[in-house]
A and B are shown apart, each in its own frame.
Chain A
Amino acid sequence: MISTLGRFTMVLALGIALYGAIVSILGVRRRKPALIESGRGAVFAVFGLATFAVLLMEAALVGRDFSIQYVARNASLGTPLLYTVIALWGALEGSILLWIWILALMSLLAVVIEGRRNREAIPYATAVLLSISAFFLFLAAFPANPFAAIFPPPADGRGPNPLLQNHPLMAIHPPCLYAGYVGWSVPYAFAMAALMTGRLGEEWIRTVRRWSIVAWGFLTVGVILGGWWSYEVLGWGGYWAWDPVENASLLPWLTGTAFLHSIMIQERRKMLKVWNLALIITTFALTIFGTFLTRSGILSSVHAFSESTIGPMFLAFIGVILLVSFGLLVYRSDGLKAEGDLDSLVSRETAFLMNNLLLLGFAFAVFLGTLFPLISEAVRGVKVSVGEPFFNKVNVPIGLVLIFLMAIGPLIAWRRASLDSLRRNFSLPLLLAFLGTGVSSILGVRGLYPLLAFSLAMFAAATVIQEFARGVRARRQISGEGYLTALSNLTKRSRRRYGGLIVHLGVVLVVIGITASTVFRLEKEVSLKRGESMHLGRYQVRFDDLTAWQEAHRFVVQGTFTVLNANRQVAEMRPAKRFYPSEQQPIGTVDVRSTPREDLYLILSSFTQDGASATLKVLIRPLVMWIWIGGAVMALGALVAIWPDRRVLVAEPVKERVAWQPGRS
């Protein structure tokens, strides 16, 4: 029953999406409002059907209806409820269903929110969004049908991949990442609408900037949570391995970040029109490419948990997107002449241009490194991979220059920066940066890159804090507000600017966390007998006990270790191994003791059958927690930037009518 109903829903939604895309275009071409209205209705209908399909799948999962193949593979009688519910995104077919739902939701929101302001663009954007939906609905209706039946139904299902039911982070990481991917569809759709209508001014930029920040925010959170999940679950003490699937999520983030910055130049100076369109097309294509990499099994990866036949379809879809989008771009190139011009090389424009160039260079290096095995095999016939050393060697220097640009960009004036303003804005941060370098050197930081990373992070943080401090001081002098009121009013006056600065502060925290946890990492692996201890850093770790028990869906062997610091007990840690019946090998479960200063990370590598001795890997990773905190700060900044302004609803946005001008003290 569920199988037929689900399949029917998908096919019906596919038909409606195609119908809606066609009538939207027809309606606007032939000036028939009824058809446009019908296209708008299709968006609502697709959302309704997608919601119904997701609920149907959840009903099948929670009701353990093993006659559905997806349920039989990804749920079992013993699987806890949480992991049964989130099994929706545990494998290929369900992920596509979730993708469809998020896309349908975003399309609906776009049509409702932007419908009044963009009468001309909205039918085209609707058509583009529905076409994207149609592609994924086609996948769900035919080659990757989540509702496929299995006969005879098995008595019990296999349950989710153990790695996916080992940590609650699995509940939020994939949806965030998908929202980050799917979110870029909306800016892309409005960019396409601008190309189709020929209204190539700054209107589409103003429409999409908030949507882009939303997509970017979700993508940021998705990427950081992915690192956190990897750190907590995969048990190797790291959070980023330059794995193809991780890289796939980083690529649209990089080009999307470039886009968020370069549209500011177009808004201000009416330059870079072609560039911005190319960037949003690339970003959108990369989100589809990311799904393709994850789902096609073309590159071996720890995450590529499904090999399937839909790879070629994704490639064809990416080909169509690139061909149509860039074809339109070339067709419209006459209307895309820059109206503004560069006034000086020492200006915010130049800083942003450099930032764009480097972000794209970074993305290109990641893209090349990820696909290198395929490229070298195609060109030279040998399989050559470039692993972590390549990415570190190429991307660390680019990243360091980017941090420098991140520090100066927001403070350097538009058009032309005077020497005087440069001195005023950067002398204090520069001094602090040098001071920071000295301090980190005394603390034992060695090597050019780590020292540079810390001093540039200090520099960037100082510029952000100085900017907030000056704004608050200016407000207090004028209005006599308290510190917090002044801070909140300052931020409200120019949300995008201050939201952006908060994001930069988050990036600084992430950079500090990554650098410290890489440079000051300690690790040691030893075999201990019961009662024996080992030392690492300031800790002493004693092996106390090994116990085992049976749980509903797995068998657990857990070690108990006492952690002492200067002979004082600070924690009792219990790393374990879990044996799932459907797996031949155990899944390790690490125990991490996180503090703002450092993480102590225990991995139970192996143990003897009688439990008399165990092999333990102990890792110390300083300041790791600040990476996750930095991610949260970045998300907060994005939230501040998009927070609705009450003024906008009342009147047209007032242009920078502030007592105090950013970048000038």
Chain B
Amino acid sequence: MTRKSKLLMGAIIVAAALSYLIYGGIREAAVYYITPAELHEKGASAADRSFRLGGMVVPGSVHWDPGTLQLTFRLTDGKEQVAVMHTGSPPDLFKEGTGAIVEGKYMSGNLFIASTILAKHSEEYRPPQAGQAQAKDLYRTLMKPPEERR
């Protein structure tokens, strides 16, 4: 065998190894985007599988217990709702009535255990809504005279 064909063989082997690596990676790491309605449709067949579930956080459904760090809420796509459970605090951009994507596993019994919450950051400018409490009103009690601030 000439050196050139040896080299070509080597390149083919490397390329094959790379393809195998990529193929395996995709098989193992593929995560399906799914909506609450699609999840309901799948039902029990979706149990114990990983998904990326996207929807709107149902107003009034968020419950957060700082003591145990348990966060529960429901996601909806307007048709169906899925209960989501997460350990940890809600991310800054997470809010009722806005979009969120959660990653995690679907358990039987219509419960989604989220390992990650990705809140959608909206670029749109919205003026403060009437009746919506402003931070400086909410946390007025925390304000101290300047000299006490370090």
- By the criterion CB–CB under 8 Å, are A588 and B25 in contact? no
Please encode chain B, from 109 to 132, with 1 for each CB lying within 8 Å of some chain A CB and 0 for all others. Answer: 000000000011101011010000
Complex interface: chain B residues within 8 A of A393 (CB)? 21, 24-25, 28-29
- By the criterion CB–CB under 8 Å, are B26 and A372 in contact? yes
Return the contact of B26 from the options A361, A390, A584 (Cβ within 8 A): A390
A560 at interface, CB cutoff 8 A: yes
A168 to chain B, nearest CB (A): 21
Mark out the residues of chain B between 1 and 57 whose CB falls within 8 Å of any chain A CB in the assembled complex. Answer: 3-4, 6-7, 10-11, 14-15, 18, 21-22, 24-26, 28-33, 52
- By the criterion CB–CB under 8 Å, are B93 and A387 in contact? no
Complex interface: chain B residues within 8 A of A579 (CB)? 134-136
Mark out the residues of chain A between 537 and 573 whose CB falls within 8 Å of any chain B CB in the assembled complex. Answer: 546-550, 555, 557, 560
B36 to chain A, nearest CB (A): 15
- Compute how far the CA of A358 lies from the CA of B134 in the bound complex, rounded to whole angstroms: 54
Please encode chain B, from 74 to 95, with 1 for each CB lying within 8 Å of some chain A CB and 0 for all others. Answer: 0000000000000011101111
- By the criterion CB–CB under 8 Å, are B92 and A357 in contact? no
- By the criterion CB–CB under 8 Å, are A389 and B29 in contact? yes
Complex interface: chain A residues within 8 A of B88 (CB)? 525, 605, 617
Complex interface: chain A residues within 8 A of B60 (CB)? none
Return the contact of A386 from the options B26, B135, B138 (Cβ within 8 A): B26
Interface 9-mer from A194-202, A593-601, A608-616: A608-616
- By the criterion CB–CB under 8 Å, are A394 and B22 in contact? yes
With A384-B32, A397-B21 already in contact, the answer to whether A547 and B66 are too (CB < 8 A) is no
With A345-B7, A393-B21 already in contact, the answer to whether A611 and B142 are too (CB < 8 A) is yes
Complex interface: chain B residues within 8 A of A307 (CB)? 123
- By the criterion CB–CB under 8 Å, are B138 and A547 in contact? no
Complex interface: chain A residues within 8 A of B94 (CB)? 585
- By the criterion CB–CB under 8 Å, are B142 and A547 in contact? yes
With A397-B21, A547-B144 already in contact, the answer to whether A609 and B31 are too (CB < 8 A) is no
- By the criterion CB–CB under 8 Å, are A357 and B15 in contact? yes
Q: With CB as the reference atom, state the residue of chain B lying closest to A528.
A: B66
Please encode chain A, from 500 to 534, with 1 for each CB lying within 8 Å of some chain B CB and 0 for all others. Answer: 00000000000000000000000001110000000
Complex interface: chain A residues within 8 A of B14 (CB)? 354, 357-358, 361
- Compute how far the CA of A383 lies from the CA of B52 in the bound complex, rounded to whole angstroms: 10
Complex interface: chain A residues within 8 A of B143 (CB)? 547-550
- By the criterion CB–CB under 8 Å, are A609 and B126 in contact? no
A522 to chain B, nearest CB (A): 15
- By the criterion CB–CB under 8 Å, are A557 and B4 in contact? no
Q: With CB as the reference atom, state the residue of chain A lying closest to B103.
A: A387
- By the criterion CB–CB under 8 Å, are A610 and B141 in contact? yes
B117 to chain A, nearest CB (A): 11
- Compute how far the CA of A585 lies from the CA of B141 in the bound complex, rounded to whole angstroms: 20
A428 at interface, CB cutoff 8 A: no
A300 to chain B, nearest CB (A): 8
- By the criterion CB–CB under 8 Å, are B89 and A606 in contact? yes
Complex interface: chain A residues within 8 A of B126 (CB)? 584
With A305-B123, A585-B93, A609-B141 already in contact, the answer to whether A387 and B29 are too (CB < 8 A) is yes
- Compute how far the CA of A365 lies from the CA of B29 in the bound complex, rounded to whole angstroms: 13
Mark out the residues of chain A between 356 and 412 whose CB falls within 8 Å of any chain B CB in the assembled complex. Answer: 357-358, 361, 364-365, 368-369, 372-373, 382-391, 393-394, 397-398
- By the criterion CB–CB under 8 Å, are B18 and A390 in contact? no
- By the criterion CB–CB under 8 Å, are B67 and A582 in contact? no
Q: With CB as the reference atom, state the residue of chain A lying closest to B139.
A: A548
Complex interface: chain A residues within 8 A of B11 (CB)? 353, 357
Q: With CB as the reference atom, state the residue of chain A lying closest to B32.
A: A384
Mark out the residues of chain A between 484 and 499 whose CB falls within 8 Å of any chain B CB in the assembled complex. Answer: none
A441 at interface, CB cutoff 8 A: no
- By the criterion CB–CB under 8 Å, are A555 and B136 in contact? yes
With A344-B3, A393-B28, A555-B135 already in contact, the answer to whether A581 and B128 are too (CB < 8 A) is yes
- By the criterion CB–CB under 8 Å, are B15 and A386 in contact? no
- Compute how far the CA of A588 lies from the CA of B69 in the bound complex, rounded to whole angstroms: 18
- By the criterion CB–CB under 8 Å, are A384 and B135 in contact? no
- By the criterion CB–CB under 8 Å, are A385 and B18 in contact? no
- By the criterion CB–CB under 8 Å, are A527 and B67 in contact? yes
- Compute how far the CA of A561 lies from the CA of B147 in the bound complex, rounded to whole angstroms: 19
With A393-B28, A615-B66 already in contact, the answer to whether A588 and B92 are too (CB < 8 A) is yes
A311 at interface, CB cutoff 8 A: no
A418 at interface, CB cutoff 8 A: no
Return the contact of A342 from the options B4, B66, B69, B148 (Cβ within 8 A): B4
With A368-B22, A615-B66 already in contact, the answer to whether A586 and B92 are too (CB < 8 A) is yes
A473 at interface, CB cutoff 8 A: no
- Compute how far the CA of A383 lies from the CA of B150 in the bound complex, rounded to whole angstroms: 51
Complex interface: chain B residues within 8 A of A560 (CB)? 150
Q: With CB as the reference atom, state the residue of chain A lying closest to B66.
A: A527
Q: With CB as the reference atom, state the residue of chain B lying closest to A365.
A: B22
Q: With CB as the reference atom, state the residue of chain B lying closest to A394.
A: B25
Complex interface: chain A residues within 8 A of B92 (CB)? 235, 577, 585-588
A302 at interface, CB cutoff 8 A: yes
With A357-B14, A547-B142, A586-B92 already in contact, the answer to whether A385 and B149 are too (CB < 8 A) is no
- By the criterion CB–CB under 8 Å, are A384 and B30 in contact? yes
Complex interface: chain B residues within 8 A of A368 (CB)? 22
A161 at interface, CB cutoff 8 A: yes
Return the contact of A387 from the options B31, B135, B149 (Cβ within 8 A): B31
- By the criterion CB–CB under 8 Å, are A365 and B25 in contact? yes
A84 at interface, CB cutoff 8 A: no
A350 at interface, CB cutoff 8 A: yes
Complex interface: chain B residues within 8 A of A617 (CB)? 88-89
Complex interface: chain B residues within 8 A of A588 (CB)? 92
B136 to chain A, nearest CB (A): 5
- By the criterion CB–CB under 8 Å, are B89 and A384 in contact? no
- Compute how far the CA of A300 lies from the CA of B141 in the bound complex, rounded to whole angstroms: 39
Residue among A300, A353, A393 facing the most chain B CB atoms (10 A cut-off): A393
14 contacts between A and B (CB under 8 A): A345-B10, A354-B14, A357-B15, A369-B25, A373-B33, A390-B25, A546-B142, A547-B142, A547-B143, A547-B148, A548-B143, A560-B150, A586-B92, A609-B141
Chain A to chain B: the 10 pairs with minimum beta-carbon distance, closest first? A605-B89, A579-B135, A390-B29, A548-B142, A383-B33, A389-B29, A527-B66, A361-B18, A394-B25, A393-B25
- A residues adjacent to B (C-beta < 8 A): 73, 158, 161, 163, 235, 300, 302, 305-307, 342-345, 350, 353-354, 357-358, 361, 364-365, 368-369, 372-373, 382-391, 393-394, 397-398, 525-527, 546-550, 555, 557, 560, 577, 579, 581-582, 584-588, 605-606, 608-611, 613, 615, 617
Q: Assuming A158-B125, A386-B25, A615-B89, what are 16 further A-B pairs, CB within 8 angstroms?
A: A353-B7, A364-B22, A365-B21, A365-B22, A388-B29, A525-B88, A548-B136, A548-B142, A548-B143, A585-B93, A585-B94, A585-B95, A588-B92, A605-B88, A606-B90, A611-B141
